[in-house]
Amino acid sequence: MAVERVVPTSPERVFAVLADGWSYPLWVVGATHMRDVDDGWPAVGSRLHHSVGAWPLMAHDVTEVVAVRPDELIELRAHLWPTGAARIRLTLHPQGAGTRVVMTEHVERGPATLLPHPVQELLLGPRNRESLARLAAIATRRSVPDART
């Protein structure tokens, strides 16, 4: 299932948010607490350690980078016991003065694979559209450090 959004900023600025592992709960709907970010994030194999859900009913989750091309793509595998794992891919395409961000997600393992694809789309579509809206807000409003300072 894919959702997309045009963000009025460069792919570099969008990717900078994705490359900041500590910002993950700011834009990913459901992620609520960042516990740790592996050194080298977002290199392939590096992981984010975060929680999902509302306190006190939070579950620990791990998200791992499967593929990355800076300013173009990041592909993640999100693990959440006991529901299984999902593959999430964000691709960044220059479009005019902005960036078209395409987010795809599909369940790879666990009980959620038993849900028919239309049901998965009903559950994931609104969540992922909101995640892209949050990502866009951060990418367009975040100040960029001046390299000269």
Segment 7-40, tens digit of pLDDT:
999 999 999 999 999 999 999 998 889 999 999 9
What is the end-to-end Cα distance of the chain in Å, rounded?
A: 43
What's the pLDDT at 148? Answer: 43
Q: What is the pLDDT of residue 38?
A: 97
Predicted TM-score (pTM) above 0.75: yes
Q: Cis peptide leading into 25, omega within 30 of 0? A: no
Amino acid letter, residue 57? L
- The DSSP element (H or E) to which 31 belongs, if any, is strand 31-37
- Residue 11 near residue 102, CB atoms below 8 Å: no
Q: What is the pLDDT of residue 60?
A: 87
Architecture of 2-141 per CATH?
A: 2-Layer Sandwich (3.30)
Domain boundaries, the chain: 2-141
Locus of tokens 């929680």: 51
Residue ranges in the chain modelled with pLDDT below 50: 146-149
